[in-house]
Amino acid sequence: MSLLSDLATPIVMGILLGGLYSIIALGLSLVFGVVKEINIAHGDLVILGSYFGFVALTIVGIDPILSLIIGIPLFFGIGFAIQKYLLNRAFRISMDATLIIAFGISIILQNTFQLVWTPLSRGLTTSYALASFSAGPIYVPLVYLLDLIVAILVMFFLRELLRRTYMGIAIRSAAQDRMAAQLMGINTNRVYALTFGISTALAAVAGVFLGLTFPFTPVSGMSFLIIALGVVVLGGLGSIAGTLVAGIAFGLAQTLGGYFFGVAAQMLVAYTMVLVVLAVIPRGIFGR
Amino acid sequence: MWDVSLSVNSGEIVAIIGANGSGKSTLLNTISGLMHPAQGSIEFAGNDISVLEPFHIVDLGIALLPEGGRIFPDLTVLENLKIGSYNRKARSESSHNLQRVYQLFPVLKTKEAQLAKTLSGGEKQMLALGRSLMSDPKLILLDEMSLGLAPLLVNDLYRALREIRERGLTILFVEQNVRRSLTEADRAYIMETGRIVLSGNVDDLREEEKVKKAYFGT
């Protein structure tokens, strides 16, 4: 009984944390599934979203979540331009070239963060950042709950976009068969730019909620990229539901691993789980 | 592929005949903009289209049904058809064209909510043909539409093709079955290793000694 009530906290926290992980992973998964690029700058784009929220809060003085009204279209534009002017051109040479360009973007972003905001740890300290409420025996931080709610909302929105609009069906067509998509009259390069734009807009959302949940530094992007990669392969490529389930599984493995083996073993347990699951189901939980 | 000169008149049905590797697919892929000619030009309705990208060419009214159909396996049947009408002009006619495709292949309507990968081989090819028609083309290019299908299904597809033609579409098709080509087409071109070696209307070609020897064994 005491073990069960002790476990309640890591279980609830793991599930909620999984929400944040799945928002971070969603954009990575989308570009991976559609454009077949491994965007290793995705973590840094997420942190760019965190700094965007930081500027909104500390300089402009508006709530970081509210600032996403500007942040989402702005980041969409940045992502669209990255794919259109950099990656689509590299694409014609080879997929390796896109990987190197993404790596370059990653380094440029990290160094820019250091120059502009110094290597100090920052956080989005809003009035509600530290608020929590009690649910039975446990205390739940409000932002953790927001993470999961927003993850579900974002995924629902993305799913509807991909299912119901011409653009969404075009994105899925291009992901399945590039040549056939071109024969349908789809400008696949434009579809890739749109996809990267959506992915970067998702990074803005992820970044703001990450900043509300954890402190971040200019190099935080890399550790969240590693988590997101684990979530993407665990969930199976191109599956939205899979990304949520995998995000939660990853969050649970981390919090329960921390509970049983200590904080130092959190990532070890989470990644061991990823490897074990992949050994059993190589295509991931929801993979096709 | 070189020295290829070919023309198709509006409303005609023209066959390209040749063995594997004779350049038939390359020819169709070049017309639809997937590849570009090193020299020479491709004209459609008076415009040079040889440097255009595939999505421009679809807008102009040319649809290619590629070899193997290439339907989108993880889209539903309806989504496959819907994406066929992606270009702006066809989009406004989408529901009208959808009804026509369903008239042509009623089985697609009954399975419209299924994922395309669950269809049988013949249904997949019907879907591929229907999807090409959704772009409201003036000229349709068919690359080995009947490859690997049972004869009865092939008959169905060609029956549909004749109906499509009645509506005024121009058809250029590649087919390995020579007998079939010479029955369905008005004119035919015969290709060997990247060149056109013979052309003419099908009645004359049937009598041609070379064709008889090479393809009918008489």
Mean pLDDT of A254-258: 92
Contact: B83, A179; criterion CB under 8 Å:
no
Specify the pLDDT at position A94: 82
Beta bridge partners of B192: B195
The CATH superfamily holding the domain B13-216 is: P-loop containing nucleotide triphosphate hydrolases (3.40.50.300)
Contact: A183, B32; criterion CB under 8 Å:
yes
Mean pLDDT of A230-253: 90
A29/A237 Cα distance (integer angstroms): 6
B135 contact residues in A (CB cutoff 8 A): 184-185
* CA-based nearest residue in chain A for residue B133: A184
**Amino acid type, A206:** A
Contact: A166, B34; criterion CB under 8 Å:
no
Place of tokens 């591929």: B128
Specify the pLDDT at position B216: 65
Q: How many CA atoms lie within 13 A of A257 on its CB side?
A: 17
Specify the pLDDT at position B19: 80
Q: Read off the pLDDT band of A176 (50, 70, 90).
A: very high
- Can you list the residues of chain B whose pLDDT is less than 70? 1, 209-210, 212-218
Q: Residue A186 is nearest to which of B32, B74, B86, comparing CB atoms?
A: B86
Quick check: B37 and B30 in contact, CB under 8 A?
Answer: yes
Task: Please indicate whether residue A112 or residue A236 has the higher confidence score (pLDDT).
Answer: A112
A176 contact residues in B (CB cutoff 8 A): 72-75
Contact: A187, B53; criterion CB under 8 Å:
yes
B159/B209 Cα distance (integer angstroms): 29
| pTM (2 d.p.) | 0.92
Listed in sequence order, the DSSP H helices in B70-192 are 77-84, 88-92, 94-104, 106-110, 121-133, 151-166, 178-184
Specify the pLDDT at position B46: 87
A151/A164 Cα distance (integer angstroms): 20
B181/B188 Cα distance (integer angstroms): 8
Q: Which of residues 148-187 of A touch B (CB under 8 A)?
A: 166, 169-170, 172-173, 176-177, 179-187
- Angle, in degrees to the nearest 10, between helices A266-280 and A220-235: 30
Least confident of A48-57, A189-198, A204-213, A256-265: A256-265
Cα angle A25-A31-A35, degrees, rounded to a multiple of 5: 160
A170 contact residues in B (CB cutoff 8 A): 83, 86
Contact: B70, A173; criterion CB under 8 Å:
no
Contact: A169, B84; criterion CB under 8 Å:
no
The continuous run of DSSP H or E covering B171 comes out as strand B170-175
Place of tokens 């799945």: A22
- Angle, in degrees to the nearest 10, between helices A166-176 and A142-164: 80
pLDDT of A160 > 80? The answer is yes
**Amino acid type, B34:** L
Provide, rounded to the nearest whole percent, the portion of chain A with pLDDT above 70.
98
Question: Minimal CA–CA distance to B175: which of B58, B22, B50?
Answer: B22
Specify the pLDDT at position A46: 98
Q: How far is CA A121 from the centre of its chain?
A: 20
Specify the pLDDT at position A288: 63
Contact: B83, A173; criterion CB under 8 Å:
yes
Residue A288 CB coordination number (10 Å): 14
Radius of gyration of chain B from its Cα atoms, rounded to whole angstroms:
17
Q: How many CB pairs under 8 A join A and B?
A: 65
From B198's Cα to the closest Cα of chain A, the distance in A is: 29
Mean model confidence pLDDT for chain A? 92
Cα angle A174-A176-A179, degrees, rounded to a multiple of 5: 55
Quick check: A235 and A148 in contact, CB under 8 A?
Answer: no
Angstrom distances, CA of residue B24 to CA of A110, B15, B67, B137? 52, 10, 11, 21
Quick check: B182 and B149 in contact, CB under 8 A?
Answer: no
A185 contact residues in B (CB cutoff 8 A): 54-55, 58-59, 86-87, 90, 135
For testing the chain B interface, which of A161, A183, A191, A194 should be mutated: the one with the most B CBs within 10 Å?
A: A183
The region, left, alpha or beta by phi > 0 then psi within -120 to 50, assigned to residue B143 is beta
Residue A147 CB coordination number (10 Å): 27
Contact: A184, B135; criterion CB under 8 Å:
yes
**pLDDT, tens only, A57-107:** 999 999 999 999 999 999 999 999 999 999 998 877 887 899 999 999 999
A128/A141 Cα distance (integer angstroms): 9
A191/B14 Cα distance (integer angstroms): 34
Q: Residue B75 is nearest to which of A166, A169, A288, comparing CB atoms?
A: A169
Residue B58 CB coordination number (10 Å): 28
Quick check: A244 and A155 in contact, CB under 8 A?
Answer: yes
Contact: B75, A186; criterion CB under 8 Å:
no
**pLDDT, tens only, A8-67:** 889 999 999 999 999 999 999 999 999 999 999 999 999 999 999 999 999 999 999 999
pLDDT of A275 > 90? The answer is no
Angstrom distances, CA of residue A164 to CA of A35, A169, A189, A280? 20, 7, 21, 34
Task: Give me the count of residues in chain B.
Answer: 218
B77/B114 Cα distance (integer angstroms): 6
